[in-house]
Amino acid sequence: MKSFTLAILIALSGTVFAQSSNMKPGLWEIKQISHVVDGRDVTAQTAAARAKMQQAMANMSPAQREQMQAMMNRQGASVGGGGMRICISPAMAARDKPVLNSEGHCEPTKISRSGNKTRFEINCTNHGITTVGKGENTVVGDIVTNHMDLTTTDARGSHHTVSESQMKYLGSDCQGIKPADQLAK
């Protein structure tokens, strides 16, 4: 069951979450708008995987569902009605730069801001994977729209990903989900 959960979370978290300095600490829901990998639109497959996981959880006994949700919360995510939910800690919200991974190993190389938009570039290597690309975040109230254009290279080759997602602030209570910056600890 644990490997199934992790596989689904990886599929659902195809978007590297990013933020602007307007990010609030608390629970956020990430909704995938589009996800294209190597020129192939996988948005529908990602949505289908999320729906399949929600159906599988609905078919579980209450005890199994509670156990699965607790395990997902410890992994730093939960699948909600509109997408994947993550917790942003006060320390993450206080950062004045995009969060590109929970371990903090991938810092933006360039950041520019204009009004409600933050643009950034990234070029880093983490765990043998090199990621190069750019992103843009637009903040409107409690909604952050993220657009990412990334190329990742590892021992198996290179992959180009273009994705767009929206993050919606749900409130200060993370509902038991471990903050993203504490996952590596």
pLDDT, tens only, 1-44: 433 333 333 334 444 455 555 678 999 888 889 989 999 998 88
pLDDT for the residue numbered 12: 40
pLDDT for the residue numbered 143: 92
Rounded to two decimals, what is the model's pTM? 0.73
In sequence order, what are the beta bridge partners of 105?
Answer: none
pLDDT for the residue numbered 15: 43
pLDDT for the residue numbered 177: 85
Other C-beta atoms lying within 10 Å of the C-beta of residue 68: 19
Full 3-state SS string of the chain: CHHHHHHHHHHHCCCCCCCCCCCCCEEEEEEEEEEEECCEECHHHHHHHHHHHHHHHHCCCHHHHHHHHHHHHHCCCEECCCCEEEEECHHHHHCCCCCCCCCCCCCEEEEEEECCEEEEEEEEEECCEEEEEEEEEEEECCEEEEEEEEEEEECCEEEEEEEEEEEEEEECCCCCCCEHHHCCC
pLDDT for the residue numbered 160: 95
Task: Point out the residues of the chain with pLDDT beneath 70.
Answer: 1-22, 72-82, 96-105, 183-185
pLDDT for the residue numbered 19: 52
In sequence order, what are the beta bridge partners of 110?
Answer: 121
Q: Where do the structural domains in the chain lie, given as residue ranges?
A: 2-182
Burial 90-99 (b: 16+ CB within 10 A, else e): eebbebeebb
pLDDT for the residue numbered 184: 55
